[in-house]
């Protein structure tokens, strides 16, 4: 049976047919050191549609906001980040997943050890959640992207 419960912080589903939002895409990777001479070769045809970049399966992709917890910071997920969650993907060892656990939603790294699932936070001070063998783990989706606002005002 498909779980239709929506997690706290649910921001909405990816649109099936979003209007394209073509933003300029520089043909270089940004360095944090010296500027690149390739910046002089930017053309108006170099564009990026963020939906095409992050959404693989629109009918199964949702956005959710990370809460105020900091247990996933070491994995690059900070409080308030927007997470892109794809429900069509099969979770694998090492994936960051959103799971239904003990009546709520949580985001953790999925690990398979000795035939058992473990849910790890990025904070070593937090013990992993060891999923009992007789409990079926309800993986709601795989986190494929996260976005963080950089502007501090």
Catalytic residue annotation: 71, 108
Ramachandran region, residue 97 (left: φ > 0; alpha: ψ -120 to 50; beta: rest)? beta
**How far is C-alpha 143 from the geometric centre of its chain's CA atoms?**
3
Strand partners, 112: 117
Helix residue ranges per DSSP H, the chain: 50-54
Buried b (16+ CB within 10 A) or exposed e, 93-104: eebbbbbebeee
* CA–CA gap between residue 84 and residue 88 (Å, rounded): 12
Contact 26, 39 (CB under 8 A): yes
* CA–CA gap between residue 78 and residue 71 (Å, rounded): 9
């Amino acid at each position: 049976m498909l779980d239709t419960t929506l997690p706290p912080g649910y921001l909405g589903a990816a649109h099936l047919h979003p209007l394209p939002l073509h933003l300029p895409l520089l043909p270089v990777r940004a360095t944090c050191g010296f500027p690149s001479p390739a910046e002089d070769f930017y053309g108006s045809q170099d564009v990026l549609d963020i939906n095409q970049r992050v959404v693989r399966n629109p009918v199964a992709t949702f956005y959710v906001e990370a809460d105020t917890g900091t247990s996933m910071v070491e994995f690059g997920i900070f409080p308030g980040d927007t997470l892109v969650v794809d429900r069509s993907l099969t979770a694998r060892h090492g994936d960051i997943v959103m799971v239904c656990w003990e009546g709520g939603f949580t985001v953790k790294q999925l690990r398979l050890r000795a035939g058992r699932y473990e849910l790890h936070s990025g904070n070593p001070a937090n013990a992993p959640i060891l999923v009992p063998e007789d409990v079926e783990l309800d993986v709601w989706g795989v986190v494929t992207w996260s976005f963080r606002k950089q502007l501090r005002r």
